[in-house]
Structure 1
Amino acid sequence: MKKFIKVSFTAAVLLFSAHAVNAQQKIAHLNSQEIFTSMPEARAVSTTLESLQKTKQAQIEKMQSDYSTKYNAAVAKNKTLSETNKETVGKELQAMETELEGIKKGIDQATQTAQQEMVAKQGELMGPLQTKFITAVRAVAKEKGIAYVFDSFSQQGSNNILAWENGIDVTAAVKAKLGIAAGPAAAKKS
């Protein structure tokens, strides 16, 4: 019986001490959007992606313009169709239709390829920024003894934090770790 009491007491002490250790863990939050928009590298990435998008869009618009011109030519050719030139014009219209289908497939393929290239380029350019950001967040968390850091940026209408009060906002500390000067934009609390 004494052994049972001793084991129960030991288990209770361990349970309460484990609970006390867990209760001491610090939790913090940051606004990743504010940090990323402050990073000079992110601005350069954004400019590069916008330039690539404009180039791809111009290429697709040129193809669409070519399609439109040839389509209008086919419509005009169709208006010249008569019983006397039915065979000749019919063959020309058939050739024009085949060409238009090819151009349409080319536009669809170019659009799909452009989207894939944009996603690949974004991943290529944003990967190092993400790594730099995560490294800075982990360093700040370690320095401040923080166990968990949540992102308070609301993307697509939701985030992981529903409410916080007197929490630790490490946005400025992460910006400082990244070498970003403190700006006038202050982190807002909800």
Structure 2
Amino acid sequence: MNLVKIFRLTLAAALLTAGTLAAASAQAQAPLKIGYTDVQYVLAQMPESKQIESDLKAYNTQLESQLKSKAAELETKYKTYQQGEATMTDIVKADKQKELQSMQQSIQEFQRSAEQSLQQKQQTLLKPALDKLQKNIDLVANENGYTYVFNSDGGGSPLLLHAPKEGDISDLVLKKMGVTPGAAAPVKSGPAVAPTTTTPAPITPATNKSKTKTKK
């Protein structure tokens, strides 16, 4: 099972962009002033980031444990089936194969559900931090006369491809939140992926040339 990559900041960038693009100056005559911030850089230094990472890892571990348990149960039943296959009647064999196939499908469905659940958990954990970040971006923009603030997040698809350094308000936003800007590397983001485990190959009914024996 691949270890989840904690921050899906492409999502964060999309959420923040909707709000910041609308933060135009109330005075139509005010000169246009454009700023930008690296959402990934700021979030990585917020105190909340460590707790979010810890909570998400714990949730991921929980899902992984459940998936491994289901896979182990299937593995045990599969080995038992293989050991007794030679002495099984066709009817019993078909019933066991059907049971194994059903268990395997259940595991695959659980894995898909776990992936969605993990993504939802991630969004839930990130929302308070994103709301806080948006609020402070608005405060910094208003206090410093920025008409628009763009996202320069290098982890996703940046909306800003070139700009002067003085337009970067990332450190101002951190200071507004009481965080001392540091050299923390941006947290790399990627899709949240639930655990994967190796399960037995799909069980398919074997063709038996002999007829089912019945008691007379």
What TM-score does the superposition give when structure 2 sets the normalisation length? 0.67
State the AA in 2 paired with 1:69: T
TM-aligned CA deviation for residue 113 of structure 1: 2.4
SS at match of 2:89: helix
Q: How does 1:103-118 map to 2 (within 5 A)?
A: 103-118=103-118
Greater displacement, 176-185 / 32-41: 176-185
Q: Is the 8 A contact 1:60 1:110 kept in 2?
A: yes
Equivalent residue pairs, number: 159
Q: Is the 8 A contact 2:70 2:107 kept in 1?
A: yes
Q: 1-side partners of 2:110 and 2:184: how far apart?
A: 41
Q: 2-side partners of 1:42 and 1:166: how far apart?
A: 25
Q: 1:166 to 1:41 in 2, by over 3 A?
A: closer
Aligned equivalent of 1:73: 80
Q: Is the 8 A contact 2:41 2:185 kept in 1?
A: no
State the AA in 2 paired with 1:26: K
Aligned equivalent of 1:137: 137
The alignment status of 1:33 with 2:40, answered yes or no, reads yes
Aligned equivalent of 1:42: 49
Aligned equivalent of 1:101: 101
Aligned equivalent of 1:128: 128
Greater relative CO, 1 or 2 (CA 8 Å, sep 6+): 2
Q: Is the 8 A contact 1:29 1:167 kept in 2?
A: no
Q: 2-side partners of 1:166 and 1:68: how far apart?
A: 58
TM-aligned CA deviation for residue 166 of structure 1: 4.7
Q: 2-side partners of 1:155 and 1:61: how far apart?
A: 32
Q: 2-side partners of 1:42 and 1:124: how far apart?
A: 13
SS at match of 1:146: coil
Aligned equivalent of 2:154: 154
Q: Give structure 1 regions of 4+ aligned residues with deviation exceeding 2 angstroms.
A: 75-78, 88-92, 184-187
Q: 1-side partners of 2:111 and 2:33: how far apart?
A: 48
Q: Structure 1, residues 143-172: CA drift from partner, whole Å, max 9, x if none?
A: 00001111111134x311111125411111
Q: 1-side partners of 2:179 and 2:166: how far apart?
A: 22
Judging by fraction of residues, say which structure has more helix.
1
Q: Is the 8 A contact 1:28 1:168 kept in 2?
A: yes
TM-aligned CA deviation for residue 186 of structure 1: 9.1
Q: 1-side partners of 2:106 and 2:165: how far apart?
A: 57
